[in-house]
Amino acid sequence: MRALKEISSLVLLVCCGLTCHLSAQNQSPCCKSIEKSACVQALPVYADVNQPIEARVEDALARMTLEEKVALCHAQSKFSSTGVPRLGIPEVWHSDGPHGVREEIEWDSWSPAGWTNDSITAFPALTCLAATFNPRLSMAYGISVGEEARYRKKNVLLGPGVNIYRTPFNGRNFEYLGEDPFLASRMVVPYIKGVQSNGVATCVKHFALNNQEEDRMHIDVEVSDRALHEIYLPAFKAAVQQGGAWSIMGSYNKYKGQHGCHNEWLLKRILKEEWGFDGAVVSDWGGTHDTKEAALNGLDIEMGTYTNGLSTGRAFAYDDYYLANPFLQLLKSGEIPVSVVDDKARRVLRLIFRTSLAPNRPLGRTVCEDHSRVARQIATEGMVLLKNDQSILPLSVKAGQRIAVIGENAVRSLTKGGGSSELKPKYEVAPLVAMKAAFGAKNILFSYGYSSGRPLYDKVEKAPYDADSLLQAAVKTASQADVIVLVGGLNKNNSQDCEGGDRTEFGLPFGQEALIPALAALNKPLVVVLMSGNAVAMPWLKDAGAVLQAWYTGSEAGNALVDILTGAVNPSGKLPFTFPKRLEDNAAHSFGALSYPGDNVKQQYMEDILVGYRWHDTKRIAPQFPFGFGLSYTSFELGQVTASAPSYQAEDVIRLTLTLSNTGQRDGAEVVQVYASQRKPSVSRPVKELKAFQKVFLKAGERKTVTLDLKASDLAFYDEAAKAWKLENDTYTLQVGTSSNPSKNKVDVTINAASK
């Protein structure tokens, strides 16, 4: 049905019905009376793809009724909003899916539509993408997922998410790009460009301060202007000004007493006025609460609102949405000027002309070899080797030796659950399946070890397993093997990595913290693989010979894991957020309940700008694993860094140069990271902040010269009094290393004649 609607809309754009709209409000079709050639010659400006978009927008707007303009501003179904059928302008189709295009949903409910042709490639979660520290891969990711969205005839892909990792309890951290605003900014821009190269809009979310799921619908976030601009807004700003994002999604939470989906400060003043955003603001589903605020404070398309119309027996009362009939009545009464709806309609029309009605729009493709290759490469480059005592990894299994694979996550689908990012993959290679293929089925033993709640039955004992019997069965299985690989971590159930609620414990769930020491007691090589989107407590760290952070990696999860375990791919991932030793070592949690999760009404970001490694370094709290950390199967050596000049002015580019050598026996990649600090700032500043990075691939024994550029203006801080960025005349230390850990490889530069 949707395909017929799309075809009909396109036919209207090239057929003679358009000629009718050259006159007043004639809505009668005239295809029978006018030749096609005459129709094409008479195409109005808005239908002519050779005309500039702004000319098309203004022409279409001039032909629309007030009712048609309002109709553009709210949903017509669960995942679509209307176009202008009379003018042949098609509807807008949205889809969840920062990690892949979501399955089709029924018109009026969250239930699956039951299509048989909506399976897709499941790409790794964005935490894994961030861990690659590779913007080129981010572009490939965006192109690939954009092709799949285009193939499914979507206009808007709801993602990527760039909310900052503030607490390891946030249920949606796996959807985001880590704790550092510079890393998130560098990674989000190519993703956006890749998706939008397919004529599909990204909808960057959730703008802004949606950094937890607990009380997300109403919590009022109190944060300093400095932390807002230095930590929580940069990735959104980069998405708009560098990535050219065509739409932005508002957030559920409040800021300064107003909900994020109609927030005067965030949407109107910052996004549209200060940053010059020309796209459409889309509400999060059910995130709209007031007609006047929504109309006047920057919301353009209202989605997912539940209204009182439900009580009348109608499934979804779309005409009762805040930006539907209530908005129309205020416009007709003159209480809200027509210029307000004109601005919204312009933005929605611009979105449509950039997507559905764009010239030379690609056709898209889905579940193809190229997409599988990209998914697998992102997964392998993103996995982070955290520990590798005695070089247990890569696995070297001799003939006749056996591997015990323990853990529910070795067989569980980790593309299911998690909320709106749940996927329906065409295929998903489980770790156990991939390990049997790699090592031979007869050499692989398996036991669950733990269960996340689903009933498991012991066929030998003819009784259900409980936590103790699962542990004992795993120990028995592992005792018969030469190497143990525990595939555990979290999952996408409630209170795990899941939308709608936060985690409730920092440790590994389901008895894994007892399971790991029990397996270690067998005195066999033990590899712990963590599939999760969050940091976890590691009281068992001393018991594991190797630890691999493997994230949620989608369709190619098992194959990518085997690539790393066998050494077919040398791990090169780096942590995009800090792993604290204790929960109270995390900045947000260190200040108590009012800082996280708040008092149910408001919360205060008491750590201010000291998020993640900024907190650990400044307060000298040793982390379990630092931001930017990740081991390799080879070794690297950094030469002494030098700067292109001793002093710079605000508009200058600082160029750093050093050599990087692969001193080991395997090809591999290292991420060179630059952290900056100011010697005598007039305000408190973190000990250091990431300002540049580059991923460098080297063959065994190879040496390369690496150059890293950063703008002198990137060393500025946000001056709350002046409400502007300020770069002070001072000496700045640029530290170069392979994580946020302190490094002696540094150079000092001086900023002179600094300007705002």
What's the pLDDT tens digit per position in 559-577? 999 999 999 999 999 999 9
- Beta-sheet pairing, 156-158 with 201-207: parallel
Residue 109, pLDDT score: 84
Quick check: 548 and 572 in contact, CB under 8 A?
Answer: no
Considering the candidates 96, 118, 215, 284, report the single residue annotated as catalytic. Answer: 284
Stated pTM of the model: 0.94
The predicted-structure confidence for 386-403, as pLDDT tens digits, reads as follows 999 999 999 988 888 999
For 479-527, write each residue's pLDDT tens digit.
Answer: 999 999 999 999 999 999 999 999 999 999 999 999 999 999 999 999 9
Closest CA to 68 of 25, 14, 8: 25
Closest CA to 122 of 103, 107, 94: 103
Cβ atoms of 272 and 250 within 8 Å: the answer is no
* pLDDT reported for residue 315: 54
pLDDT the model gives residue 41: 55
Q: Give residue 454's pLDDT.
A: 79
Q: What is the DSSP string of 6-75?
A: HHHHHHHHHSTHHHHTTSSS-----TTTS-HHHHHHT--GGG-TTS-HHHHHHHHHHH--HHHHHHTTBB
Task: Provide the pairing of β-strand 668-678 with 689-698.
Answer: antiparallel
Confidence class of residue 141 from pLDDT cuts 50, 70 and 90? very high
Q: Are strands 724-726 and 201-207 parallel, antiparallel or unpaired?
A: unpaired
Q: Please state, rounded to an integer, the average pLDDT across all residues of the chain.
A: 93
Q: What is the CA radius of gyration of the chain?
A: 27
What percent of the chain is predicted at pLDDT more than 90?
A: 89
Which residues does residue 119 pair with via DSSP β-bridges, in sequence order?
none
Backbone angles phi, psi at 594, to 5 degrees: -65, -25
Distance of CA 433 to the CA centre of its chain: 28
- Residue range 266-290, pLDDT digits in tens: 999 999 999 999 999 999 999 999 9
Tokens 């980790």 label which residue?
414
Tokens 């201010």 sit at which residue?
A: 608
Rounded average pLDDT over 7-33: 40
- State residue 310's pLDDT score: 46
Q: What is the pLDDT of residue 754?
A: 56
**Catalytic annotation on 714?**
no
> Residue 307: helix, strand or coil by DSSP?
coil
Query: What average pLDDT does range 654-671 have in this prediction?
Result: 98
How far is the C-alpha of 530 from the C-alpha of 543, rounded, in Å? 15
pLDDT at 307: 65
Determine the average pLDDT of the residues in 469-474: 95
Q: Based on DSSP, count helices (H) and strands (E) in the chain, helices before strands.
A: 20, 29
C-alpha span between 449 and 451 (Å, rounded): 7
For residues 283 and 179, give the distance between their C-alpha atoms in angstroms, rounded to a whole number.
Answer: 24
Burial 634-662 (b: 16+ CB within 10 A, else e): bebebeebebeeeebebebebebebebbb
SS3 content of the chain, % helix, strand, coil (to 5): 35, 20, 50
Separation between Cα atoms, residue 53 and residue 73, nearest integer Å: 19
Q: Where would I find the beta strands (DSSP E) of 679-729? A: 689-698, 703-711, 717-719, 724-726
- Which pLDDT tens digit goes with each residue over 284-337? 999 999 999 999 999 999 999 976 544 444 555 899 999 999 999 999 999 999
Chain segment 667-678, per-residue pLDDT in tens: 999 999 999 999
**Domains of the chain, each with CATH number or no CATH:** 1-43 (no CATH), 44-354 (3.20.20.300), 383-575 (3.40.50.1700), 578-633 (no CATH), 636-751 (2.60.40.10)
- Report whether pLDDT(433) > 50: yes
Residues 707/656, Cβ–Cβ less than 8 Å: yes
Q: Tell me the pLDDT tens digit for each residue of 678-719.
A: 999 999 999 999 999 999 999 999 999 999 999 999 999 999
CA distances from 205 to 130, 239, 260, 280 (A): 16, 10, 11, 12
pLDDT at 657: 98
C-alpha–C-alpha distance, residues 590 and 166, integer Å: 12
Mean pLDDT of 34-63: 82
**DSSP symbols for 313-379:** T-S--GGGSTTSHHHHHHHHHTSS-HHHHHHHHHHHHHHHHHTTT-TT------S-HHHHHHHHHHH
